[in-house]
Structure 1
Amino acid sequence: MNMMSAPPASDKKFAHPGVTAKGERRAQVALRKLDTLWFNTGTLCNVACEHCYIESSPSNDRLVYLTHEEMCAYLDEIARDGLGTREIGFTGGEPFMNPDMPSMLETALARGFEVLVLTNAMQPMMRPKIREKLLAIQNAYGEKLTMRVSLDHYSEKLHDEERGPGAFAKGIEGLSWLSDNGFTINVAGRTLWHEEEKDVRDGFAALFARENIAIDAQDPAGLVLFPEMDEEADVPEITTACWGILNVDPADMMCASSRMVVKRKGAEKPAVLACTLLPYDARFELGTTLKEASSSVPLNHPHCARFCVLGGGSCSG
């Protein structure tokens, strides 16, 4: 953008896609390659976490269940246009509440993609029919499938403060079942409690050893610790100069290599978004096809700064 033709700066942060409140050029991220395509299977969840990134709950159906047929249309587009996508991710809500989840999972794997599933490993995943299907899929595709279990904290007390009484025990039961049956697994923890990273990893390491769970808590890929976001917090806007100042490469941002498909309640067809963390912000809806969604993304939200640029967070495997 030529600053001579830029609109006047606003006194409010994150108000304009091209310029910051101070009138500086806002950073944008170009899609380098669609390495990961996420499918949000719906925002319904069996629990309502205190600090859920996208407010999933047993009653939130703002994003409705995506269907197997709708998913396949995007996989067809990847094949037709030779996009070279490596990974398909499934998130929610809780993906295993969606009745099409087993068929979507199997189809994505059968088409040769690596697949990452974000789950709380609780009752929806632990239903006998789902476990039977998962075992068959794991037996057929092995390490092509990774299950990432949300376990906010290594202590039952703090985890249950976030997810409700009994959630820790149920999550451990599901995680142990996955580990015992040879699934490729990792855990997603949270940094809500402002502990030193070493203490968090050591706490999870002790938990995994106690429960005989096959995860190396010292491995950042085995235990993924997500930075927290607060839309009301005062965070800096990211300008084009910030890349050099912070020594951060825009190619490392999530939106440089991924997109997410959602189906909004009442919508005729799914939409493609720039980010897994911003499902309700219309500014980050890029179109209905992957081709339409290949445009650059202005970093025009506090989450862009806090989670991605400053926090180094990424949902992808």
Structure 2
Amino acid sequence: MGQLAVRQSVSRPRTIRISFGESGDRARSPMSLLQIEPASSPAPRQPLVHLDALWLQVAGTVCNLRCTHCFVSCGPANHSHTLMSRDEVRAHVEDALALGVRELYFTGGEPFLHPEMSAIMDDCLPLLPCTVLTNGTLFTPGRLAALARASEGSRHSLELRVSLDGWKAEDHDRLRGEGTFERTLAGLVAADRAGLVPIVAVTHAIDEDTDALVGRYQELLRGVGIARPRLKLVPLFRLGREAMRARSYEEPETLIGLSDEALDPERLQCGHSRAVTTRGVYVCPLLVEEPRAHMGARLTDALGSFPLFHGACFTCHRTGMTCANH
């Protein structure tokens, strides 16, 4: 495909419909029918208002778990995005500092699989507030003690954001694997006792009663000794394995046809952040497996506006969701 055709595919998005046959076929073949239709109108464009947050996919798509709702389909054997080197992290952070970035997020995959994660924290925490997104199953006393020392010795905050997808073991384990609820809960308690006061990330359906959800999680966490539960609610995105587990985005779930003027440029996280992997820069951490979301090799290549063509953009716009802590 030539350069002109590539540009056209971004500026004139297309609706992709995925249909499955019988339920038995679904497990054998993820796509039994693929239809691509031209979009009736262009997608609105979101400007980068300011680079507030840089997301670094330090662990690539490598994870010790294989969660059935993972939006980038991470797992032990997924090397779609590889581990970032310490030098790669430094280079992207230096570029981000020059652009006025205010905080860093480290994700994957599972960041604590990275053999240089402690050294990366030593490099970055003196510069900016840092958050590590983790499943909480790889915490050891030594690792938590080192993180606590780093946090205490820095003027910047160090946050651990731990995913917990059910206040009952059967709900969490159904998504993340047998026995993971107890391991994650133990990791949360250990991190809290180390003085790190983790943030608990909870996925939920868009139409779910979040007040009731928060109450159940607070009761669970207080019951295991976490006095100040901190929760981050994250809507389910129909990407990766979640699209296979439930369904992919459907035609009405789109921002295509919405005018630029109808957007609040401050509302969406892609107006305030970018994500980097070993493949380069993406518009956001949700779309690192979407080729059309790749914006270049360096942050300076990714300062322009972006067409909100994806169903995930619809979810962000509808919920006001941001991947950031606040």
TM-score, normalised to structure 1's length?
A: 0.83
C-alpha distance in structure 2 between counterparts of 1:78 and 1:313, whole Å: 23
Aligned residue in 2 for 1:197: 210
1:282 to 291, 315, 319: 291
Task: Report what 2:40 is aligned to.
Answer: 22
Change (3 A) 1:45 1:75: same
Q: Tell me the residue number matched to 1:228.
A: 236
| Equivalent in the alignment of 1:3 | none
C-alpha distance after superposition, 1:198-233 (max 9, x if no partner): 2211110110110111434xxxxx311111122523
Deviation, 1:280, is 1.6
Following superposition, the deviation at residue 10 of structure 1 comes to 8.0
- Cα distance, 1:131 vs. partner? 2.7
Q: Write the distance in 2 (CA, Å) between the matches of 1:286 and 1:166.
A: 39
Q: In the alignment, which residue of structure 1 is the partner of 2:94?
A: 76
Query: Whole-Å Cα distance in 2 between the matches of residues 209 and 65 of structure 1?
Result: 36
Moved more, 188-197 or 172-181: 188-197
The separation in 1 between residues aligned to 2:148 and 2:96, in whole angstroms, is 28
The runs of at least 4 aligned residues of structure 1 exceeding 3 Å deviation read: 9-12, 192-195, 239-245
Q: Tell me the residue number matched to 1:266.
A: none
1:131 and 2:144 equivalent?
A: yes
Deviation at 1:291, TM superposition (A): 0.7
Structure-1 separation of matches of 2:39 and 2:216: 42
Partner AA of 1:148 in structure 2: R
Aligned to 1:100: 116
Asked if structure 2 preserves the Cα contact closer than 8 Å seen for 1:39 and 1:260, the reply is yes
- After superposition, the C-alpha distances for 1:268-300 in whole angstroms (9 at most, x for unaligned) are xx4011010111211111111111111111111
Contact 1:38 1:261 in 2 (8 A): yes
1:49 aligned counterpart, secondary structure:
coil
CA distance in 2, matches of 1:195, 1:76: 40
Q: Kindly provide the amino acid, as one letter, of the partner of residue 238 in structure 1.
A: L
SS state at 1:187 partner: strand
Cα deviation for residue 249 of structure 1 reads 1.6
Whether 2:144 is the aligned partner of 1:121: answer no
**Per-residue Cα deviation, 1:50-109 (whole angstroms, up to 9, x for no partner):** 110110111111111101111111122234xx3111101001100000111111112111
Query: Aligned pairs, how many?
Result: 288
CA spacing shift, 1:290–1:193, aligned 2, 3 Å = closer
Change (3 A) 1:153 1:194: farther
| Distance change (3 Å), C-alpha of 1:274 and 1:292 | same
Q: 1:142 to 1:180 in 2, by over 3 A?
A: farther
1:147 to 152, 160, 164: 160
**2:202–2:234 CA contact under 8 A, matched in 1:** yes
> 2:277 maps to what in 1?
262
Question: Could you tell me the percent identity over the aligned residues?
Answer: 29
1:182 positional shift? 1.4
Alignment RMSD (CA, Å)? 2.6
- Report SS of the residue matched to 2:64: coil
Query: For residue 167 of structure 1, what is the amino acid of its counterpart?
Result: T
Contact 2:106/2:132 (<8 A) preserved: yes
Q: Which runs of 5+ in 1 are unaligned?
A: 1-5, 217-221, 264-269
Residues 11 and 152 of structure 1, relative CA distance in 2, 3 Å threshold: closer
* Distance in 1 separating the partners of 2:303 and 2:104: 17
1:55 paired with 2:73, answer yes
CA contact (8 A) 2:49 2:265 kept: no
Distance in 2 (alpha carbons) for counterparts of 1:236 and 1:160: 29
- Cα distance change, pair 233–161 in 1 and its aligned pair in 2 (3 A): same
Work out whether 1:13 is the aligned partner of 2:15. Answer: yes
Would you say 1:39 and 2:56 are equivalent positions? yes
- 1:161 partner amino acid: R
Match of 1:219 in 2: none
Question: Structure 2: 5+ residue runs without aligned partners?
Answer: 1-7, 18-37, 240-247
1:273 — aligned with what? Answer: 282
Q: Which amino acid aligns with 1:65?
A: L
SS in 2 for 1:60: coil
Closer/same/farther in 2, CA of residues 14 and 85 from structure 1, 3 Å limit: farther
CA contact (8 A) 2:44 2:256 kept: yes
CA contact (8 A) 2:111 2:133 kept: yes
Question: Retained in 2: the 8 A contact 1:47–1:163?
Answer: yes
Q: Distance in 2 between matches of 1:145 and 1:52?
A: 24
The alpha-carbon distance between structure 1 residues 133 and 110, as it changes in their structure 2 partners (threshold 3 A), is: same
Secondary structure, counterpart of 1:277 in structure 2: helix
Match of 2:5 in 1: none
